[in-house]
Amino acid sequence: MTQDTIFALSSGAVPAGVAVIRLSGPKARFVMNKLIDKEPKPRFAALRYLSDPDSGDIIDQALVIVFPDTKSFTGEEAVEFHLHGGRAVVKAMLEILGRFEGCRLAEAGEFTRRAFENGKYDLTAVEGLADLIQAETENQRKQAIRQASGAHKSVIDGWREILLQARSMIEAELDFSDEEDIPGAISDVIWPKLRELKADIERHLSKADHGERLRNGLTVVLAGHPNAGKSSLLNWFAKRDVAIVTEEAGTTRDLLELHLDIEGYPVTMIDTAGLRESDNVVEREGIRRALEKSENADLLIEVVDGTHPEERVELSSHARRMVLFNKQDRIDSDPFHANGKGDDKEMVFSASVKTGKGMDFLYDSFVKQIESLFDGAEDVLITRERHRKYLLSCVDNVNNSLIYTESPIEIRSEFLRQAGDELGKITGRIDVEEMLGVIFSQFCVGK
């Protein structure tokens, strides 16, 4: 079965200074030579007129680069055209390419899928590429580029190697089991090694939250009684008036999300409706949503009107909590002596959003909380639920092989084979057809 040759606009929306159209597949060079008069040296950019092969009309003057299959992104023959980024230029070029037999527009992620199928990347690197394109903050970018460059694959392949070695030693023991010379010797080596492997994977699993958080961003929820100053606080973080602030209790009803970049970490801050008993249907729905968000928050900032410090809210959230006694400007002295007191689970602050007093301290503590929630996330191996699932299953299998000491060695070895297969699913060595569609569809057309 011969592959289609695929093409797409790989750069951003037109009009733009330059538009890059990619062409990849068995007919890539053939098609290119129909459009230009002289083939450029491989991997060197050359300026060429592109003309319509049917009418002879010149379409554009462009830089043309041809990549042999061994040196291309996709692992097959490929060509890039760097055209002027006008709508009509791009449209004409795509129309002409589509006229060639066996050439068609690429689907979302299809170039990357071919790169994967041709062994240029493993699945973790592909996921890293997808994340790199989506990355919005500096630390997300760092995590993604590490993964895209194969850092995850090499760790996982290292683990697989240990499992393979253990199994081959068990095989060897089985082959020589009637010889008296080596009893026990192999077991002495492999089981401690497998215990280490298990501990190593478990260490990574224990940090899984951090990695997934960095990919998805973490959620900070502002909660408290009406009029405590939640929306004022959101506006303070935003440095602009995103939320409506009035002296009327019950102003905020809908959830309002603000995306922040805190020292390179992605944070979504959510303003919510003030919590109180209410007969109003709209407000009650707002309160229901506020409670729901609070439960799933990574960090809660409870805002309390400092002139009514007894007005605290009951929240069944496991999230860490910062409590801000606001409106300090209305209180003669600071009755709480509160700033920064408390423990890891709940820290107490006294400040005034309105005058800004105490807010720098609150902000610094907030940044520290965020940093500790992400702590070392860039180096974490697990960035997706998928990784966590297979690693857990791998650990289970390694564990089974360790604890079933009374079982025949063949069975213990079989657990190790399964453990290795789980790792193979992460890198895509083991058949994972059903999830490929999901992974590649996250890319845009042209990647």
Ligand X SMILES: Nc1nc2c(ncn2[C@@H]2O[C@H](COP(=O)(O)OP(=O)(O)OP(=O)(O)O)[C@@H](O)[C@H]2O)c(=O)[nH]1
Residues of the binding site: 22, 80, 120, 227-232, 246-252, 271-274, 447
* Candidates 143-151, 171-179, 226-234, 387-395; binding stretch for Mg ion (CB under 5 A): 226-234
11/227 with CB nearer K ion: 227
- For residue 147, the partner it binds in ligand X, K ion, Mg ion, none, with Cβ less than 5 to 8 A by kind, is none
Min separation Cβ 323 and ligand X, Å: 14
Stretch that binds K ion, among 101-109, 190-198, 225-233, 437-445 (CB under 5 A): 225-233
251 binds K ion (CB under 5 A): yes
d(CA 367, CA 327): 22
Footprint of ligand X (CB under 6 A): 226-232, 245-247, 249-252, 273-274, 303, 326-327, 329-330, 352-354
Q: Any contact of residue 227 with K ion (CB under 5 A)?
A: yes
Binding to Mg ion in span 388-447, by CB under 5 A: none
Please report how close the Cβ of residue 328 comes to K ion at its closest, in angstroms.
Answer: 18
Which residues have CB under 8 Å from 382's CB, separation 6+?
204, 205, 207, 208, 211, 212, 388, 391
Q: Do 382 and 205 contact (CB within 8 A), yes or no?
A: yes
Q: Least distance in Å: CB of 207 to ligand X?
A: 35
Give the nearest residue (CB) to ligand X: 274
Rounded to whole angstroms, how far apart are CA atoms 392 and 398? 10
* Pairing of β 341-342 and β 346-350: antiparallel
Nearer to K ion, 177 or 355 (CB): 355
- Give the interface segment with K ion, choosing from 247-255, 261-269, 339-347, 358-366 (CB under 5 A): 247-255
- Least Å from the CB of residue 340 to ligand X: 18
Tokens at 12, concatenated: 């951003």
Burial class (CB in 10 A: 0-12, 13-18, 19+), 222: buried
CB of 226 to K ion, least distance (A): 6
If binding is defined by CB under 5 A, does position 227 make contact with Mg ion?
no
Nearer to ligand X, 53 or 250 (CB): 250
Residue closer to ligand X by CB (options 249, 435) is 249
Instruction: Tell me: does residue 278 bind K ion (CB under 5 A).
Output: no
Strand partners of residue 16 = 85
Distance from C-alpha of 52 to C-alpha of 201, rounded to nearest angstrom: 57
Residue placing its CB nearer to ligand X in the complex, 145 or 238: 238
In angstroms, give the least distance from the CB of 286 to ligand X.
9
- Nearest-CB residue for K ion: 251
Of 240, 304, 295, whose CA–CA distance to 274 is shortest?
Answer: 304
Nearer to ligand X, 103 or 303 (CB): 303
Give the nearest distance from C-beta 330 to ligand X in angstroms: 5
**Min. distance of Cβ 315 from K ion in angstroms?**
19
Among the listed residues 112, 143, 252, 413, the single contact to Mg ion using CB under 5 A: 252
**From CA 414, how far away is CA 195, in angstroms rounded?**
17
Smaller CB separation from Mg ion, 179 or 248: 248
How far is Cα of residue 246 from the mean position of the Cα atoms in its chain?
38
| Nearer residue to ligand X within complex by CB, 301 or 319 | 301
User: Which amino acid does the sequence have at 171?
Assistant: E
Q: Which of 11, 124, 231, 413 binds Mg ion (CB under 5 A)?
A: 231
CB of 335 to ligand X, least distance (A): 15
Q: Could you give the C-alpha distances from 148 to 121, 129, 142, 144, 403, in angstroms and in order? A: 8, 5, 10, 6, 36
State the binding site for (6S)-5-formyl-5,6,7,8-tetrahydrofolate.
22, 80, 120, 447
- Exposed (0-12), middle (13-18) or buried (19+): which is 300, by Cβ within 10 Å? buried
CB under 5 to 8 A by kind: which of ligand X, K ion, Mg ion, none does 211 bind? none
Binding-site ranges for K ion (CB under 5 A): 227, 251
Binding-site ranges for Mg ion (CB under 5 A): 230-231, 251-252
